[in-house]
Structure 1
Amino acid sequence: MTPLIKIRSERDQMSAIERRIADYVLDNAHLLRDYSSQQLASALGISQSSVVKFSQKLGFKGYPDLKFSIGEALARDGGGDADAPIAADATGGHAALADALWREKAAAGEETRLLNPDATIDAAVDALHGAQRIFVCGFGADGIAAREFALKLAMLGKLALHETDPLPMLAHLAGAGRDDVLVLFSEQGKHAALAQLARQFQLGGGRLLSVTRHTANPLRAQADVALVVSAHSAMLHVEPLLYRAALNHLLDVLFVLLFRRDDATQARFATQVERIAHLLDP
Structure 2
Amino acid sequence: MTEVSAIYTIKNKYTSLSAKERKIADFILEHPLDSVNPSIEELADKIGISESTMVRFAKKLGYSGYQRFRIALARETIPSNAQIFETEVNDSEDAIDTVFSNAQKTIEATYRHLDRVAVQHAAKMIAHSKRLYLAGLGGSNSIALDGYHKLIRTGLTCNYASDFHMQLMLASQAGPEDVALLISHTGVDTDTLSLAEEFRNNGCPILVLTSDNRSPLARMGDAILNVTVSTNSLVAESFSARTVSMVIIDVLYVKILEQMKDQGIENLNKMRTAIARRRM
Aligned-partner Cα distance in 2 for 1:182–1:234: 28
- How far residue 264 of structure 1 moved from its aligned partner, in angstroms, is 1.0
Aligned ranges 1:12-161 → 2 under 5 Å: 83=88, 89-90=93-94, 97-98=96-97, 101-161=99-159
Aligned-partner Cα distance in 1 for 2:151–2:47: 47
- Which moved further from structure 2: 227-236 or 101-110? 227-236
TM-score w.r.t. the length of structure 2 is: 0.63
- How far residue 181 of structure 1 moved from its aligned partner, in angstroms, is 0.5
**Structure 2 residue 263 is the aligned partner of structure 1 residue 264:** yes
- How far residue 113 of structure 1 moved from its aligned partner, in angstroms, is 2.5
The one-letter amino acid of 2:94's match is A
Partner of 1:189: 187
The one-letter amino acid of 1:161's match is N
- Is the partner of 1:176 in helix, strand or coil? coil
Partner of 2:239: 241
Instruction: Call closer, same or farther: CA 1:153–1:87 in 2, change over 3 Å.
Output: farther
Aligned 8 A contact 2:115 2:225 in 1 = no
Deviations 1:203-243 (A, max 9, x none): 22221011111352110111111111122447979x83322
- Which moved further from structure 2: 197-206 or 265-274? 197-206
In structure 2, the gaps of 5 or more residues are 1-30, 36-45, 49-86
Aligned-partner Cα distance in 2 for 1:195–1:235: 21
TM-score w.r.t. the length of structure 1 is: 0.62
Aligned-partner Cα distance in 2 for 1:126–1:109: 24
Deviations 1:27-56 (A, max 9, x none): 69xxxxxxxxxxxxxx989xxxxxxxxxxx
- How far residue 87 of structure 1 moved from its aligned partner, in angstroms, is 5.8
In structure 1, the gaps of 5 or more residues are 1-23, 29-42, 46-81, 92-96
- Is the partner of 2:193 in helix, strand or coil? helix
Instruction: Call closer, same or farther: CA 1:250–1:87 in 2, change over 3 Å.
Output: farther
**Structure 2 residue 176 is the aligned partner of structure 1 residue 178:** yes
Greater relative contact order (Cα < 8 A, sep 6+):
2
- How far residue 189 of structure 1 moved from its aligned partner, in angstroms, is 0.9
Instruction: Call closer, same or farther: CA 1:189–1:270 in 2, change over 3 Å.
Output: same
**Structure 2 residue 218 is the aligned partner of structure 1 residue 220:** yes
Deviations 1:1-28 (A, max 9, x none): xxxxxxxxxxxxxxxxxxxxxxx9xx69
Aligned-partner Cα distance in 2 for 1:179–1:253: 23
- Is the partner of 2:182 in helix, strand or coil? strand
Aligned 8 A contact 2:257 2:264 in 1 = yes
**Superposition CA RMSD, Å:** 3.1
Identity over aligned pairs, percent: 21
Instruction: Call closer, same or farther: CA 1:154–1:83 in 2, change over 3 Å.
Output: same
- How far residue 168 of structure 1 moved from its aligned partner, in angstroms, is 1.9
Partner of 1:165: 163
- Is the partner of 1:132 in helix, strand or coil? coil
Aligned-partner Cα distance in 2 for 1:89–1:235: 19
Deviations 1:161-181 (A, max 9, x none): 101222222222223211101
Instruction: Call closer, same or farther: CA 1:169–1:235 in 2, change over 3 Å.
Output: closer
